[in-house]
């Protein structure tokens, strides 16, 4: 896919929401359109693709024509999306502590000049996997949030370039995850994950993520119970929504 994607400018690395709009991913499963629903004609398909092109371009990524089929497949599904399961352990005044059980995730790591580009390109690969480019040949369905894993430099002042975009396999596929056809996608079995989370709204850039990390550290004070070099950013909404919901996750150290 990289040969069709053109980075337009600049250095800016980090993690955040996938650049492809999620407004058409309102929970997707392997059912297609109702039998009595008219398929999109060519003009409607072109309009939809143009919309996604516009969203991608605001994040300095060119949407390749090969994304037309996954976009159509995702748009043609109407079921509610599946939440990633978790248990709330503690509700603090400014944050929440959660336990995410062990589970299998599809992961892609990208290291583009801008963090928006890494997330965009990683999620586009995951879209192909979700949309039938897997060993079952089935549409797998969408789960939320999309979780992006980041690392900071030793000084804690910059995000490192490599960003891992992760998609939780729906419950149906947890026992036996479909294998991806794309060698860049790996299936990871993550052990139970205990995190401190704090909601924030708006765009996710390197600057906003670093700000949210600093704010949560100020709220927590001095502690060695969470990692300082690795964090996660969970994204729940369409990136074209100005005040979309995100979360910063601090990872508890293993006891």
What tens digit of pLDDT does each residue of 9-50 get?
Answer: 333 333 333 334 344 333 333 333 343 445 666 766 777 667
pLDDT at position 158 is: 92
pLDDT of 49: 66
Q: Which of 51-55, 89-93, 148-152, 195-199 has the weakest average pLDDT?
A: 51-55
| Per-residue model confidence as pLDDT tens digits over 107-159 | 999 998 888 788 888 988 998 999 989 999 999 998 999 999 999 999 989 99
Give the model's confidence band at 238: pLDDT under 50 very low, under 70 low, under 90 confident, else very high. Answer: low
Q: What is the mean pLDDT of residues 64-86?
A: 76
- Domain map of the chain by residue range? 2-252
User: What stretches of the chain show up as alpha helix (H) in DSSP?
Assistant: 42-57, 68-75, 115-130, 206-220
Candidates 130, 145, 164, 165; CA nearest to 100 is 145
Name the percent of the chain lying above pLDDT 70: 74
- Helix, strand, coil share (%) of the chain residues, nearest 5: 25, 30, 45
58: pLDDT confidence band, cut at 50, 70 and 90?
low
Whether CATH 3.20.80.10 fits 2-252: yes
Mean pLDDT (the chain) is 80
Confidence check: pLDDT of 59 > 90: no
pLDDT > 90: what percent of the chain? 50
d(CA 117, CA 123): 10
Distance CA 31, CA 47 (A): 23
Give this prediction's pTM.
0.79
Which tens digit of pLDDT belongs to each residue from 212-227?
999 999 998 888 999 9
Least confident range from 42-46, 65-69, 164-168: namely 42-46
Is residue 235 within 8 Å of residue 246, measured between CB atoms?
yes
pLDDT given at position 253: 92
């Amino acid at each position: 896919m990289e040969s069709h994607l053109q980075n337009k400018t600049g250095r800016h690395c980090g993690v955040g929401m996938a650049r492809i709009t999620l407004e058409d991913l309102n929970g997707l499963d392997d059912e297609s359109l109702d039998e009595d629903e008219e398929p999109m004609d060519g003009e409607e398909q072109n309009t939809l693709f143009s919309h996604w092109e516009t969203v991608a371009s605001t994040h300095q990524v060119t949407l390749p024509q090969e994304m037309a089929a996954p976009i159509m497949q995702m748009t043609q599904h109407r079921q509610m999306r599946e939440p990633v399961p978790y248990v709330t352990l503690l509700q603090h005044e400014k944050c929440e502590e959660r336990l995410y059980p062990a589970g299998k995730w599809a992961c892609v790591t990208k290291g583009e000049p801008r963090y928006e580009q890494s997330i965009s390109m990683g999620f586009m690969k995951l879209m192909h996997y979700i949309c039938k480019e897997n060993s079952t040949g089935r549409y797998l369905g969408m789960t939320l949030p999309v979780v992006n894993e980041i690392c900071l430099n030793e000084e804690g002042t910059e995000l490192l370039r490599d960003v891992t975009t992760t998609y939780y396999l729906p419950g149906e596929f947890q026992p036996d995850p479909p294998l991806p056809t794309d060698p860049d996608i790996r299936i990871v079995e993550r052990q139970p994950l205990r995190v401190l989370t704090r909601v924030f709204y708006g765009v996710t850039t390197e600057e906003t993520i670093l700000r949210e990390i600093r704010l949560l550290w100020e709220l927590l004070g001095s502690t060695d119970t969470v990692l300082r070099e690795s964090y996660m950013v969970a994204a729940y909404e369409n990136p074209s929504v100005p005040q979309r919901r995100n979360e910063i996750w601090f990872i508890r150290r293993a006891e």
